Amino acid sequence: MIVSKQKPFDEILAALEESRKIFLVGCAKCATVCKSGGEEEIWQMQELLASAGKEVTGSIVIDEACHMLRAGRDLRGKKEMVAESDALLVLACGAGVQSVSAASEKKTVAGLDTMFLGNIRRLGQYEQKCSLCGECILTETAGICPMTVCPKGLLNGPCGGMQDGRCETDQDAECAWSQIYNRMQSQGSVDNLKKIVSQKDFSKILRPGKLKIEK
């Protein structure tokens, strides 16, 4: 899931300074789970904007804002309310915002900061475990990603900052390599740690990423 959080309201308000009439867009997928842009947050935003003297012309929670065709179709369904507005405030990830900006000529304001691809530990608690590196090494690292879990992305073992299996950047976090080592010990595969891992091929994730599935 794409983890996002709302920008501070005063920042949103500043971005809407010259726009009085606002149309609100949320997303029923990730932003709903993250409580940053679901039905509830759209409603709260409407209240906040109203008390700040803005007029909300309407709102929509798109089923999957990153789906460009769907976003365009849903916005067309609210054509008049969109037309009446001075700006669209989008409470969706950066992908969702761009589906909206591609579908409308109106000024688009991003209400969220998009953070990472996250796992859900429990509702309201998200953790990054994968950094979308384009070349998965989890089979070789006992199912724990050092590219992501190690703040330095080290591929050949812990740095000198590991202390009692803890990470130098966060005493509460277990060193990625300590986790990998413990898992390999229980799986009897510690010998994997002897192999020098070569430098990563970053050409696998040149931006902007594109994938077209050929039939």
Partner 1 sequence: MISSLQQKLDAGEFVITAEVCPPKGSDCGEFLEKSSNLRGHVDCINVTDNQGANMRISPLAAAALLVQSGIEPIFQITCRDRNRMALQSELLGAAALGVVNVLALTGDHISFGDHSQAKPVFDLDSVQLLKTISELGEGRDLAGNPLHGTPHFYVGAAAAPEAEPFPLTLFKLEKKVSAGARFFQTQAIFNPEKMRTFRDAVSHLNVKIIAGVLLLKSAGMARYVNAHIPGLSVPASIIEELESAPSPIVKGVEIARRLVGELRPFCDGLHIMAMGREELIPEIIKEVR
Residues of this chain that interact with partner 1 (CB under 8 A) are 151-165, 168-169, 177-178, 181, 193-194, 196-200, 202
- Tell me the closest approach of the beta carbon of residue 204 to partner 1, in angstroms: 14
Cα–Cα distance, 197 to 75 (Å, whole number): 49
By beta-carbon proximity to partner 1, the closer residue of 94 and 153 is 153
Per the CB < 8 A criterion, the answer to whether 100 and 92 are in contact is: yes
Nearer to partner 1, 58 or 153 (CB): 153
Q: Please say which residue, 81 or 159, places its beta carbon nearer to partner 1.
A: 159
132 or 202: CB nearest partner 1: 202
Helix, strand, or coil (residue 31)? helix
Q: What's the min distance (Å) between Cβ of 116 and partner 1?
A: 15
CA dist 58 and 89 (Å) reads 11
Distance in Å, CB of 182 to partner 1, minimum? 9
Looking at residue 122, its amino acid is: R
Beta bridge partners, 204, equal none
Token couple for 132: 């979308």
For residues 98 and 65, is the Cβ–Cβ distance under 8 A? no
Determine the length of the chain.
Answer: 215
In whole angstroms, the minimum distance from the beta carbon of 168 to partner 1 comes to 4
Distance in Å, CB of 147 to partner 1, minimum: 10
Q: Residue 21 or residue 152: which is nearer to partner 1 going by CB? A: 152
| Residue whose C-alpha is closest to residue 12's, from 108, 116, 93, 115 | 108
